[in-house]
Chains A and B, each alone.
Chain A
Amino acid sequence: MATKGKDAQSPLPDPQAQSESTAALLRELVAHLRQNRTQLREEWARRITRAQLLTAMTEEEIFAEATSVYDNYVEALETGTFEALQAYARNLSERIIPRGVETHEVVGIVLLLRDVLARSLFAKYHEDFTKLNRILDAYEPAANRIANTVAVGFVQERERIIRQQQEAIRELSTPVLQVRERLLILPIIGVIDPQRARQLTEQLLRAIRTNRAKVVVIDITGVAAMDSNVANHLVQTVEASRLLGATVIVTGLSPEIAQTLVTIGVDLSEMATVGDLQGGIEEAERLLGYKVLPLEEVAPKV
Chain B
Amino acid sequence: MEVPILKQGHYLIASIQSALTDADLSQLREALIERVGRFRARGVIVDVTALDVMDSFAVRTLRDIAHMARLRGAETVIVGIQPEVAFAMVQLGLTLKGVSTALDLEEGLLFLDHQAQLRIERGTGRIDRG
Contact = CB atoms under 8 A, between A and B. Distances in A.
A209 interface: yes
A243 B107 contact: no
A245 B103 contact: yes
A246 B102 CA distance: 7
Interface string B68-110: 0000000000110101111101110001100001110001000
> What secondary structure prevails in chain A residues at the interface with B?
helix
Interface string A238-254: 01111111100000000
Interface string A183-210: 0000000000000001001100110110
Given A205-B86, A212-B103, A239-B90, A244 B81 contact: yes
Interface in A200-232: 201-202, 205-206, 208-209, 212, 214
B79 A243 contact: no
A12 B70 CA distance: 90
Nearest to A210: B83
Contacts, number: 53
B101 A243 contact: yes
Contact of A209 (B79, B89, B103, B111): B103
A259 interface: no
B113 to A, nearest CB: 14
B83 to A, nearest CB: 3
Contact of B91 (A205, A236, A242): A236
Interface in A243-276: 243-246
A198 B83 CA distance: 12
